[in-house]
Amino acid sequence: MRVYLCGVRGSTPAPGADFVRYGGHTPCVAVAHDDASAPTLILDAGTGIRSVSKLLDGGPFAGTILLTHLHWDHVQGLPFFAAGDRDDAEVDLLLPEQADGASAEAVLSRAMSPPHFPMTPSDLRGAWTFQSVAPGERQMSGFTVLAREIPHKGGRTFGYRVSDDHSTLTFMPDHCPTELGDGPEGCGAYHAAAVELALDADLLIHDAQLLNPTELAAEARFGHASADYAAGLGRHAQARSVLLFHHRPDRTDAALDEVAARFADGPGVAPAVQGSVLEL
């Protein structure tokens, strides 16, 4: 499994000289099979999805876009995905089943339609399908994907476990474990859904927008996790490596260097770097 980190920032993009090394695009991870360079599965569609087009050598995207939830920073790149917005593209877009029963296309259109935006999902060129996904396991673009609902404020949110014949990637970019209690270390509970998704994973990509109890308390209304929680969940679930993801938009390269140094002595915990390519 080959994993491309196309966007690792959270909440808003972060342009400027202070955000060059770790990257400023919002969440997007592209996944390819070992025997193919072109990704066929895209996790979230933040502004980082624009970079996926460059991975396709001028060709169209043919595969699945899987959204964890519908907050702006996880969908705002969708209409700017050039490889998906062309006549020969073939795209299956899936998002969590909604509590009100709204269809996938209808709920996506709430933000992507006039007067908020000049086009709707149905205006995207190519063969697009829009579907809702329920918790459970299914096949997508040659991968086995397990979906579980995880706590996060402001809309139903899923975490995903993506597996092939020999590797496993866990993706939880937005997660508010403190909604289920303080947990053993005060950063949130290691609840059943999170542990199931992360158990023995080769790579855990996890929300680490916050760093310490002060930030955790101050930002509670937005519903994110701390770096300590992400590292702790990795240890608890025996994941082989952990990438701290969804960096705060004001967290500079210098500040993220300090985060990297803080976890340098721990096994396999590091801040995610946009543009990285990982072989699992």
Q: What is the pLDDT of residues 86-114, one digit of tens each?
A: 999 999 999 999 999 999 999 999 999 99
| Distance, CA of 187 to CA of 183 (rounded, Å) | 6
For the chain, the three-class secondary structure string (H helix, E strand, C coil) is CEEEEEECECCCCCCCHHHCCCCCCCCEEEEECCCCCCCCEEECCCHHHHHHHHHHCCCCCEEEEECCCCCHHHCCCHHHCCCCCCCCCEEEEEEECCCCCCCHHHHHHCCCCCCCCCCCHHHCCCEEEEEEECCEEEEECCEEEEEEECCCCCCCCEEEEEECCCCEEEEECCCCHHHHCCCCCCCCCCCHHHHHHHCCCCEEEEECCECCHHHHHHCHHHCCCEHHHHHHHHHHHCCCCEEEECECCCCCHHHHHHHHHHCCCCCCEEECCCCCEEEC
| Cβ within 8 Å of residue 140, ≥6 positions away | 41, 64, 66, 92, 94
Confidence of residue 36 (pLDDT cuts 50, 70, 90): confident
Q: Answer whether 239's CB lies under 8 Å from 203's CB.
A: yes
Instruction: Reply yes or no on whether the pLDDT at 61 is more than 80.
Output: yes
The fold of 2-279 is Metallo-beta-lactamase; Chain A (3.60.15)
The per-residue pLDDT for range 173-227, each reduced to its tens digit, is 999 999 999 999 889 999 999 999 999 999 999 999 999 878 888 887 789 999 9
